[in-house]
Each structure stands twice: as C-alpha cells, then as structure tokens.
Structure 1
C-alpha cells in the first residue's frame, strides 16, 4: 500500500513538472479519471503573485473520496527570494489555488483509490 502511494506521489510530481513546462491544463468541471487529470485541474487554478520572481513551493495534501481535502495543504519545500512576507505570499497563493479548485470531481474508480494518500504538487513562477 505504501509503495503504491509513493508511486502515485512520484507520478503527481512528474505531472506537475510537465504542466509547469507548458502542457495544456484541463478544467476541473469534468470527472477526473487519472492523477494526470488531478494535477492539470489544480494547476489550472494557479496564479502566482505578480512580484514572485523565480520562485517555487511544493505542497503536500490528501484528498477525501468526495474531492475535498483532509486538512489543509502543507508546504514541504519553499524556494522564494525576498523577505518573509514575499515567502508567505507565494505559499498562500499556492494554497489558495488548491482551495479554488475544490471540490474536485473524481471518477468512481479514482475516488476509490485516492482517499488518504499523500500527494505533492510543485507550484512555480512565472506561470508558463
């Protein structure tokens, strides 16, 4: 079980990298069938702060089967130049992006396997 969750987390991180590289994002209006769909839906909600420069934050979070979160997203890696205010602004924007997308609409098959697993997603600036 832990091995499958690790593979899913790694796949979600890879998806996020591809999305940040310019892959077209999908809206969360349709039922999401894969973790690729989940990553794309969340990235479509992402708008970095205008003055963020070249920054990144990685968030860790878990979903319930109904497409909401189990607790708030937690930053696991933050690379933001500037003061504490700039750093917090970037982290807050990433968390807000996740919150704006909720609830996500999972297909029955995805909902069955997603609940409780920890996922990570990297948010970067500038949005590409």
Structure 2
C-alpha cells in the first residue's frame, strides 16, 4: 500500500501558495489499476481565497487521475479492487528554512 501512496505522490504538484494546506481524498481502484469513480475530498484545510482552495483540491484530484492506471501486482489488484482508499495531500512546503539567510 505504501507503494501506491508513493506512486500517487509522484504525480502531485501542489500549487504555489499552498503552504500548510491539506486535502484528504477518497477513491477506489479497479483491478486494472484505473480509478473507479471520481476522487472525492473528505477534508480540506486551506487558509486563503475560495478560488485558490478549489484549485488546490482540483490539483490533488488531478494527481490521482494523472497517475492512473497504476501498475498493480495481481495479488494487490485482487485485494484493492473496489476498496476505498484514503490519502492526504499536503500543500507546497515552505522554502524559508532552505534560504541561506534564514535563521
């Protein structure tokens, strides 16, 4: 299951200005690794304009769709098909600590 999360995060590109934001999505896979239905947000933490919040949620949904279909082993495909998968996507991380002049 950790490999699924890693694969999905490889497609995640959080929008600029989303530091501290979180969105939890709920979705399912078919046996062939494609998404079953539509990813749905179950929780969102975003401090900012409603349009920016919507763009943040949409970016996470797009990441799930962009990564599908996943290449699943036969055993994993049989076990995951139709099961609800929940994953949290984090916003852009602050680069403040990476600046040479940051204390």
Assess, with a 3 A threshold, how the Cα gap between structure 1 residues 127 and 64 changes in structure 2: closer, same or farther. Answer: farther
Counterpart in 1 of 2:64? 98
TM-score normalized with structure 2 length:
0.87
Measured against aligned partners, the alpha-carbon deviations of 1:15-52 in whole angstroms (never above 9, x if no partner) come to xxxxxxxxxxxxxxxxxxxx111011001111100121
How far apart in 2 are the matches of 1:62 and 1:36?
Answer: 15
1 or 2, which has the higher strand percentage?
2
Q: How does 1:106-125 map to 2 (within 5 A)?
A: 106-125=72-91
Residue 43 of structure 1 aligns with which residue?
A: 9
Q: Comparing both structures, which one devotes a greater share of its residues to helix?
A: 1
SS in 1 for 2:88: strand
- For residue 125 of structure 1, report the CA deviation from its aligned partner: 1.4
Aligned length: 94
Q: Aligned to 2:52, which of 86, 95, 100?
A: 86
Give CA-to-partner distance per residue, 1:28-79, whole Å, 9 cap, x none. Answer: xxxxxxx111011001111100121310000000000000111110000000
Root mean square deviation, CA, Å: 1.2
The normalised TM-score by structure 1 is 0.70
Q: Structure 1: where are the runs of 5+ without partners? A: 1-34
User: Where does structure 2 lack aligned partners over 5 or more consecutive residues?
Assistant: 95-103
